[in-house]
């Protein structure tokens, strides 16, 4: 039979293992191929590779894979021998395929995480509260029961549920992105000569300015109108809008998933008395940059609000922010780190309007809502989440979007200050491999007990690890301490209420281990506490 990939890989390449431009060694390619190979065949099918990628959330159309779309349509028939498999890996981005097959993406157990997201979606979908916006008449014509959630991690792992392929108007979700654009174009010093960075504490279209006669921040209407005035003012209107669409396309992975809802645009501009009032009020106060054309600015603002997309794309945009300005599925930098820092800071303090304080307290993540029911949620260095449900609360935020966010941080350690309570037993951390916390805890505790390292046992106990935790063979810390005759460890564990009679996979108890080790003092201590053989 032909040499297997692993046998081939054992042959030194030119006398030494050379890594290729992805930094991968021949032997690594062989292990990855072997992992997918089955039935002793010396080939796999393209569908086998795609299934392994999709199991961890990497979609077959992920641009980084550079797979041939024609072959994707017939993937179950496309044979990949070892050389063709290697070719795909060598021409895909970095170590993406390797990390996916080895379970090393940012959320290793992506399937479990998606099951939990699905559970939260179904739970929150029962919430019927809220009303769709009608002050822009066209928005009032949306199906109020639409509900979609999409996830994109900083590794580019994607998941969607519900009406995730239906477009909705981004509305105020354009505001943080417009703010990023003007920061990139002018820098924060110039931008903040024209807009503040304080929460307003009032509704999103409040007719107020701060003590410097500037809009409080870029996330409310007044501030967003201001930042719109600063987006490429030298361009004509068509080029300005094209510039904005190109920026959105970059942060959503160049999937050409952006549209424009002209009905909403026309509906908004015909009913925008408040925004016109805000514009003239700021003009009266001299808040705008010199030579600003107010009417063009307002038109441009309405156009930015009427951009539409779906939650798949919106989640990628959120993930670009979570990934410090680099789009996870293209690996292209759309904005600088400092721009993202400033943007997330103001999303965190102002993104949910007069609910921002409560959102920061309860959920503790940067977010931005939109009056068409969109909500962009950013979990820095981990993922972006996009939610769309048109029914709003009195602050103009999606009711289901907020309920989903509350339930998410109740289950996962995503709140910005959950980092202060590492290993919180009440919250999950999806960055850990399946059972990693438990496995790490049991292994660490057993090692410390076997070494007689009481301080380390105490540290592990303080981290909330269960002292009765057993490893794969059912061996507990008490087994190991008894085997090695560490009475001081046993005394500490007994004092903490340890189970004295656990049995490992061979039926042994700690007392039996103490007898095997002829540890007389340990035997006396265990028997004095009524341990059994
Ligand atoms: O200017 C307006 O009122 C809308 N185009 C945007 C407001 C909005 O999305 C508020 N967010 N919840």
* Residue nearest (by alpha carbon) to ligand 1 atom 1: 221
How many whole angstroms from 312 Cα to the centroid of ligand 1? 21
∠182-224-358 over CA atoms, to 5°? 115
Q: Residue of the nearest CA to atom 4 in ligand 1?
A: 171
Cβ(275) – ligand 1 distance below 6 Å: yes
User: Tell me: the pLDDT tens digits for 170-181?
Assistant: 999 999 999 999
In this predicted model, which residue has the larger pLDDT, 252 or 201? Answer: 252
Average pLDDT over residues 286-297: 97
Asked whether residue 404 carries a pLDDT value surpassing 70, the answer given is yes
In the DSSP assignment, the letter for residue 4 is P
Residue 135 scores a pLDDT above 90: yes
- Predicted confidence at residue 28, as pLDDT, reads 83
170 lines ligand 1 (CB under 6 A): no
- State the virtual CA torsion across 149, 155, 157, 162 in degrees, nearest 10: 10
Q: Look at residue 407 in the predicted model and tell me its pLDDT.
A: 98
From the CA of 275, give the closest atom in ligand 1: 1
Summarize the confidence of residues 462-471 as an average pLDDT.
82
Average pLDDT of the segment spanning 434-459: 83
Over range 67-81, report the average pLDDT. Answer: 94
Does residue 422 register a pLDDT over 80?
Answer: no
Contact 348 CB / ligand 1 (< 6 Å): no
Q: Does residue 371 have its Cβ closer than 6 Å to ligand 1? A: yes
- Residue 369 Cβ inside 6 Å of ligand 1? The answer reads yes
* Local structure of residue 19 (DSSP, 8 states): B
Neighbours of 227 (CB within 10 A): 29
Site to substitute for ligand 1 among 138, 203, 219, 221, most atoms within 8 A of C-beta: 221
Q: Which two tokens stand for residue 363?
A: 């959920």
CATH of 5-102, one of 3.40.720, 1.10.3470, 2.40.50, 1.10.238: 1.10.238
Distance 418 CA to ligand 1 centre (A): 31
| Intervals of CATH 1.10.238 along the chain | 5-102
pLDDT tens track for 8-35: 554 443 434 456 655 667 888 888 898 8
Ligand 1 atom nearest to CA at 171: 9
* C-alpha 164 – ligand 1 centre gap (Å): 21
Distance in angstroms between the alpha carbons of the first and the last residue of the chain: 54
Dihedral pair phi/psi, residue 30, rounded to 5°: -65, -40
Q: Is the CB of 306 under 6 A from ligand 1?
A: no
Bridge partners (DSSP) listed for residue 155 = none
Distance CA 163, CA 388 (A): 8
Strand partners of residue 412: 428
- Which residue puts its alpha carbon closest to atom 2 of ligand 1? 221
pLDDT at 12: 43
Fold of the domain built from segment(s) 114-203+210-420? Beta-lactamase (3.40.710)
Residue pair 176/346 in contact (Cβ under 8 Å)? The answer is yes
According to CATH, where is 3.40.710.10 located in the chain?
114-203+210-420
Q: Determine how many CB atoms are found less than 10 A away from the CB of residue 122.
A: 11
191 Cβ inside 6 Å of ligand 1: no
From the CB of 200, is ligand 1 less than 6 Å away? no
- The pLDDT tens digits of the residues spanning 342-383 come to 999 999 999 998 899 999 999 999 999 999 999 999 999 999
Secondary structure of residue 159 in the 3-state scheme: strand
Report how far residue 341's alpha carbon sits from residue 364's, in angstroms, rounded to the nearest whole number: 15
What DSSP letter does each residue of 67-106 carry, written as one string?
--HHHHTTGGG-EEEHHHHHHHHHHSSTTHHHHHHTT-SS
Cα–ligand 1 centroid distance for 375 (angstroms): 12
Q: β-strand 158-162 against 148-153: which pairing, if any? A: antiparallel
Average pLDDT for 211-231: 98
Distance in angstroms (rounded) separating the CA atoms of residues 47 and 272: 52
CATH 1.25.40.20 holds for 442-528: yes
Sign of CA pseudo-dihedral 448, 452, 454, 455: negative
Identify the pLDDT of residue 15.
39
Which of 204, 228, 314 for a ligand 1 pocket mutation test, highest count of atoms within 8 Å of Cβ? 204
pLDDT at residue 465 is higher than 90: no
pLDDT surpassing 70 at residue 2:
no
If you measure from the C-alpha of residue 174 to the centroid of ligand 1, how many angstroms do you get, rounded to a whole number? 9
Residue 320 beta carbon below 6 angstroms from any ligand 1 atom: no
Tens digit of each residue's pLDDT (9 = 90 or more) over 516-526: 999 999 999 99
Q: What is the mean pLDDT of residues 209-226?
A: 97
Three-class SS string for 329-394? Answer: CCCCECCCHHHHHHHHHHHHHHCCHHHHHHHHHHCCCCEEECCCCEEEEEECCCEEEEEECCCECC
Average pLDDT over the chain reads: 92
- Confidence at 433, pLDDT banded by 50, 70, 90: confident
Q: What is the distance in A from the centroid of ligand 1 to the CA of 325?
A: 25
Distance 141 CA to ligand 1 centre (A): 16
- Confidence class for position 119, pLDDT limits 50, 70, 90: very high
pLDDT at 39 over 90: no
Which pLDDT score, from 0 to 100, does residue 150 have? 98
Give the burial string for 363-384 (b: 16+ CB within 10 Å, else e). Answer: bbbbbbbbbbbbbbbbbbebbb
Mark the binding-site residues, compressed into ranges. 172, 221, 268, 275, 301, 353, 371
Measured from the CB, is residue 138 less than 6 Å from ligand 1?
no
How far apart are the C-alpha atoms of 529 and 494, rounded to whole Å?
A: 8
**302 CA closest ligand 1 atom index:** 5
What is the rounded average pLDDT of the residues 440-455? Answer: 89
In this prediction, residue 85 has a pLDDT band, given cuts at 50, 70 and 90, of very high
- Which residues belong to CATH 1.25.40.20 in the chain? 442-528
Question: Tokens 């820095």 — which residue?
Answer: 380
355 lines ligand 1 (CB under 6 A): no
Q: Is 305 in the pocket of ligand 1 (CB under 6 A)?
A: yes
- Give me ligand 1 centre to Cα 221, in Å: 7
Q: Is the CB of 301 under 6 A from ligand 1?
A: no
8 Å CB contact between 481 and 510 = yes
pLDDT > 50? residue 1: no
The residues with which 148 forms a beta bridge, in sequence order, are 162, 388
Angle between helices 477-484 and 487-495 (to 10 degrees): 150
> Residues 100-123: what's their mean pLDDT?
94
Q: Is 204 in the pocket of ligand 1 (CB under 6 A)?
A: yes
Rounded average pLDDT over 158-164? 98
Ligand 1 in reach of 172 Cβ (< 6 A): yes
* Residue-wise pLDDT tens digits, 236-254: 999 999 999 999 999 999 9
* pLDDT for the residue 11: 43
């Amino acid at each position: 039979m032909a040499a297997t990939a692993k046998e081939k890989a054992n042959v030194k390449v030119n006398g030494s293992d050379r890594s290729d431009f992805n930094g991968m060694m021949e032997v690594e390619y062989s292990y990855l191929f072997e992992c997918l190979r089955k039935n002793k065949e010396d080939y796999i099918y393209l569908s086998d590779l795609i299934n392994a990628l999709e199991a961890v959330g990497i979609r077959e159309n992920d641009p980084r894979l550079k797979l041939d779309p024609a072959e994707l349509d017939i993937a179950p028939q496309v044979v990949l021998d070892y050389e063709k498999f290697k070719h795909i890996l060598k021409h895909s981005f970095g170590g993406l395929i390797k990390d996916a097959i080895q379970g090393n993406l940012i959320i290793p157990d992506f399937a479990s995480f998606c099951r939990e997201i699905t559970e939260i979606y179904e739970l929150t979908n029962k919430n019927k509260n809220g009303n769709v916006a009608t002050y822009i008449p066209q928005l009032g014509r949306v199906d109020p029961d639409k509900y979609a959630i999409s996830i994109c991690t900083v590794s580019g792992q994607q998941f969607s549920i519900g009406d995730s392929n239906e477009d909705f108007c981004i509305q105020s979700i354009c505001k943080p992105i417009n703010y990023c654009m003007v920061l990139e174009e002018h820098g924060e010093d110039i931008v903040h000569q024209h807009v503040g960075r304080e929460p307003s504490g009032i509704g999103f279209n409040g007719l107020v300015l701060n003590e410097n006669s500037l809009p409080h921040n870029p996330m409310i209407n007044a501030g967003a109108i201001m930042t719109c005035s600063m987006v490429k003012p030298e361009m004509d209107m068509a080029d300005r809008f094209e510039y904005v669409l190109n920026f959105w396309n970059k942060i959503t992975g160049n999937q050409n998933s952006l549209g424009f809802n002209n009905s909403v645009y026309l509906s908004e501009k015909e009913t925008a008395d408040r925004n016109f009032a805000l514009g003239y009020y700021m003009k009266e106060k001299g808040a705008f940059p010199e030579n600003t054309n107010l009417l063009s600015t307002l038109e441009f603002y309405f156009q930015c609000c009427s951009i539409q997309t779906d939650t798949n794309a919106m989640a990628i945009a959120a993930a670009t922010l979570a990934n410090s300005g680099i789009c996870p599925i293209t690996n292209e930098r759309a904005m600088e780190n400092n721009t993202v820092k400033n943007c997330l800071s103001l999303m965190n303090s102002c993104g949910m309007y007069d609910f921002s304080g409560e959102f920061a307290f309860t959920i503790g993540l940067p977010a931005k809502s939109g009056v068409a029911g969109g909500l962009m949620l950013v979990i820095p260095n981990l993922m972006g989440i996009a939610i769309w449900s048109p029914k709003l609360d009195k602050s103009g935020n999606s009711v289901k979007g907020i309920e989903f966010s509350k339930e998410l941080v109740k289950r996962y350690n995503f709140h910005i200050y959950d980092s202060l309570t590492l290993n919180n037993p009440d919250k999950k951390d999806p960055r850990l491999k399946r059972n990693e916390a438990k496995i790490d805890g049991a292994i660490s505790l057993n090692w410390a007990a076997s070494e007689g390292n009481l301080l380390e046992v105490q540290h592990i106990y303080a981290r909330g690890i269960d002292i009765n935790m057993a490893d794969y063979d059912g061996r507990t810390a008490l087994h190991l301490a008894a085997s090695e005759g560490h009475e001081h460890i046993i005394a500490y564990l007994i004092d903490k209420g340890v189970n004295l009679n656990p049995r490992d996979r061979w039926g042994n108890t700690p007392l039996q281990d103490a007898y095997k080790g002829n540890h007389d003092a340990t035997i006396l201590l265990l028997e004095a506490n009524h341990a059994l053989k």
